Amino acid sequence: MLDLRIRTAAVLAAGLLLAATASAAGTAAGEVGTKAPGFQLKGVDGKSYSLADFKGKVVVLEWMNPRCPFSDRHAREKTMIELAKQHSEVVWLGINSTNPRSDNFEAPAEYQAYIQQQGISYPVLYDESGATGHAYGARTTPHMFIVDPQGKIAYNGAIDDDPSGRKPKPQRVNYVGTGLESERAGGKPDPSSTKPYGCTVKY
């Protein structure tokens, strides 16, 4: 009888473990509505930045790579720069998850020169290990996320509906812009997720 109870308890425990594993596997990295993964990363400016520093604020995360034509086009067109200025109440952080061994990697001096040339005023952070990028499921440059004041991911996807960059700016649907307007009005981004486009993140 005792052996039967032990075996039954073991089966139940295994079942609970499998259920928990399945549940965890069913939650994709960066999924809308989930808690935004925390991070502490060093900026190109040499300062340290943590997501926890901005608790209670809306935070935009922009995965970027100056050597990616898509990311560079948006920098030259001031897409993110202008949007960040329009929403001064929002914390905007650029993140570069390029592996230091990649040809796409920019050393701090080169990166700082690029940032100044483009007029990027928000912090740009190094994620050299790729841990933060993987935690969010960042796939492209650019890949955009909006984190709400409760620390949950409110938007995951593309900056806009114009991957080719052929539309005039006023005709583009800027998903992050509309999402931030919704957040400002006390609502939620709609759509809350889109398919990101751009170069693959060079992990």
Residue 110 reports pLDDT greater than 50? yes
Give pLDDT, residue 73: 98
Looking up residue 96, the CATH number of its domain turns out to be: 3.40.30.10
pLDDT in tens, 116-125: 999 999 999 9
17 occurs within a structural domain: no
* Segment 179-197 mean pLDDT: 97
Residue 20 reports pLDDT greater than 80? no
Closest by alpha carbon to 159, among 39, 37, 51, 74? Answer: 74
Residue 8 reports pLDDT greater than 70? no
Q: CB under 8 Å, gap of 24 or more: what pairs does 1-9 form?
A: none
Instruction: State the total domains in the chain.
Output: 1
d(CA 63, CA 26): 24
Residue ranges making up the domain that contains 74:
30-200
Give pLDDT, residue 92: 98
Give pLDDT, residue 25: 44
